[in-house]
Amino acid sequence: MYNSDTPLQAELPSSKQLMKSTVLAVIAAIVLLFTVVLPAEYGIDPTGVGKLLRLTEMGQVKQQLAEEAAADAAGLLATDTLASETPDIDNVTEQAVDATLSDTAVANGQWRDEIPFTLTPGEGLEIKMKMAAGGKTEYSWVVTGGDVNFDTHGDASGQAISYEKGRGIAADEGVLEAAFTGNHGWFWRNRGQSDVQVVLRTRGDYSTIKTM
């Protein structure tokens, strides 16, 4: 008996048609890879279409943030390792830095510490304060000659937190409240093409402040 739902042989796509569809699908996938995926995800734009569609910049930002996140994580790991393996050296370094910094409680309304430093293109720097849980530190930092990317974070044995991140920032101020007892502070990186000068000013509930 003839089943009306069964397609006729003539209605089925031929092998040639299937091959043509497959080739077209592969070509479309390759075109999307080079014009959309690579620019948007990796900042790679071999055709120039990504720039026209404003996808390349997005991909470059993603890659830059990923690199900085990896650098921050590596910096935290290196700091924890150094602290656990060489406590005496760390104490000596801390004392030397504290002696250099203006770590003197002053009159009301004035900053306790003021730390100037310079970042060359691609260079990063981290400054941390030892704070007890719930402690509050008022801070202000200003960049001259450009801007920086930054990450305000804290770490202790088995704990880590990121309070705030920014890209292309020339100044910031506020109050950092320690989520737990440990080291809390900032990491800056200069992604510009020339040197920048940064000045960090702090006052509040911390025992020491030092460059990591």
Sheet holding 182-189, edge to edge: 159-169, 148-156, 182-189, 124-131, 209-211
Note the pLDDT of residue 11: 63
Sheet holding 196-204, edge to edge: 113-119, 196-204, 136-144, 171-177
Query: What are the two backbone dihedrals, phi and then psi, of residue 190, each rounded to the nearest 5 degrees?
Result: -95, 110
Which CATH code for domain 87-211?
2.60.120.680
CB 151 within 8 A of CB 72: yes
Mean pLDDT confidence for 173-201? 95
Neighbour-count burial of 7, counting CB atoms closer than 10 A to its CB (0-12 exposed, 13-18 middle, 19+ buried):
exposed
Mean pLDDT confidence for 58-82? 59
Residue 106's pLDDT band, with cuts at 50, 70 and 90, is: very low
User: Could you tell me the pTM of the whole model?
Assistant: 0.52
State what percent of residues in the chain have pLDDT above 90: 46
Between 10-14, 70-74, 75-79, 154-158, the lowest mean confidence (pLDDT) is in: 75-79
CB 199 within 8 A of CB 116: yes
State what percent of residues in the chain have pLDDT above 70: 66
Sequence spans of domains, the chain: 13-85, 87-211
Confidence check: pLDDT of 154 > 60: yes
Residue 207's pLDDT band, with cuts at 50, 70 and 90, is: very high
Query: What are the two backbone dihedrals, phi and then psi, of residue 158, each rounded to the nearest 5 degrees?
Result: 80, 5
Distance CA 141, CA 201 (A): 6
Tell me which range, 52-61, 69-78, 115-124, is most confidently predicted by mean pLDDT: 115-124
Confidence check: pLDDT of 85 > 80: no
94 or 25, which is more confident? 25
Across the chain, mean pLDDT equals 78
Which two three-digit tokens encode residue 211?
């460059």
